[in-house]
Amino acid sequence: MEQKLIVDGKRLDGRALDQLRPIEARAGVLKNANGSAYFRIGKTIAVAGIFGPREVHPKHMEEAETAILRCKYNMASFSTTERNRPGPSRRSKEISKVMREALMPVLFLENFPKSAIDLHVEILQADASTRCAAINAASIALADAGIPMKDLIASCSVGIVEGHIVLDVAGKEDTEGDVDLPIAYYPKRDLITLLQMDGMVTKEQLKQLLELAKKGAMKIYEIQRQALKSKYMEE
């Protein structure tokens, strides 16, 4: 008999169905980058660093009326149980794209024509929901860089595991669960800015998943704000 992932409403790591893993968030963790952040949720660890707004190289990428946001999501080769081959994969390119599109709505890119904001997120350790951790770190790092923003973007995942709707998919739930749905949320406008899903759901289940995801994202939003506040309290 295979090990059950949910017993008496508790998950393998002891969490309730609607509970996030322990989170640690810090702003300004790197010296050279214009802005940076560390975001850890359970065993998933992301570090984000920003340079910019700065001159665009290569020049032909420059846009006359707006800044460009360039995002790179990368998983360290030591971040996974089996070594992850270094270099961009099709998966990481897709994640970089959806991550950029999730963050763009809160940036005033039109205020910085002909410039680039370069964002790199490194996943140091991967235990599911890595794109969410990447967005959470990126959002804090953008604010830490002093880049004008309309709001922070907060991200988390929800899923369906053994028929139960759960918040913050982790560990075996990722590989053995039936549905994985990451979102990014823009609280001030009440907008979902990243939405992906793998797995079969009814439209009623989708509704429940999204409501739970929003609740989770709001908790993360508070932690992101705290991380920024505590950095400036220290200074």
Beta pairing partners, 63? none
Tokens of 66: 């707006």
Nearest alpha-carbon partner for 90 in 104, 75, 70: 75
- Using CB under 8 A as the binding criterion, the count of chain residues that bind other proteins stands at 33
User: For 100, phi and psi rounded to 5 degrees?
Assistant: -60, -45
State the nearest-atom distance from the C-beta of 114 to other proteins, in Å.
Answer: 19
Q: Does 193 bind other proteins (CB under 8 A)?
A: yes
Of 181, 217, 227, 228, the one binding other proteins (CB under 8 A) is 181
User: In this complex, which beta carbon is closest to other proteins, that of residue 105 or of residue 113?
Assistant: 105
Q: Which contacts (CB < 8 Å, 24+ apart) does range 172-181 have? A: 172/3, 172/5, 172/12, 173/5, 173/11, 173/12, 173/128, 174/127, 174/128, 174/129, 176/5, 177/5, 179/205, 179/209, 181/157, 181/209, 181/210, 181/213
Q: Helices (DSSP H) in 41-189: which residue ranges?
A: 90-103, 130-144, 172-176
- Give least dist CB 134 to other proteins, A: 15
Residue 233 C-beta: closest distance to other proteins, Å: 31
Minimum distance of other proteins from residue 14's CB (angstroms): 27
Closest to 94 in 3D by CA, of 206, 181, 194, 192? 194
Mark the segment that binds other proteins (CB under 8 A) among 141-149, 154-162, 207-215, 220-228. Answer: 207-215
* Alpha carbon distance, N-terminus to C-terminus of the chain: 55
Q: Does 136 bind other proteins (CB under 8 A)?
A: no
99 binds other proteins (CB under 8 A): no
Specify the amino acid at residue 98: V
Any contact of residue 149 with other proteins (CB under 8 A)?
A: no
When asked if residue 206 is in the footprint of other proteins (CB under 8 A), the reply is yes
Q: DSSP code of 133?
A: H
Q: Which of 12, 124, 195, 223 binds other proteins (CB under 8 A)?
A: 195
DSSP-derived pairing of the beta strands 164-167 and 154-161: antiparallel
Question: Can residue 199 be called a binding residue for other proteins (CB under 8 A)?
Answer: yes
Interface segment toward other proteins; rule CB under 8 A; list 40-48, 117-125, 133-141, 199-207: 199-207
Q: Is residue 60 a contact residue for other proteins (CB under 8 A)?
A: no
User: Any contact of residue 198 with other proteins (CB under 8 A)?
Assistant: yes
200 near other proteins, rule: CB under 8 A: yes
Residue of 77, 207, 226, 229 that binds other proteins (CB under 8 A): 207
Residues that bind other proteins (CB under 8 A): 90-91, 93-94, 96-98, 100-101, 104-105, 181, 186, 189-203, 206-207, 210-211, 214
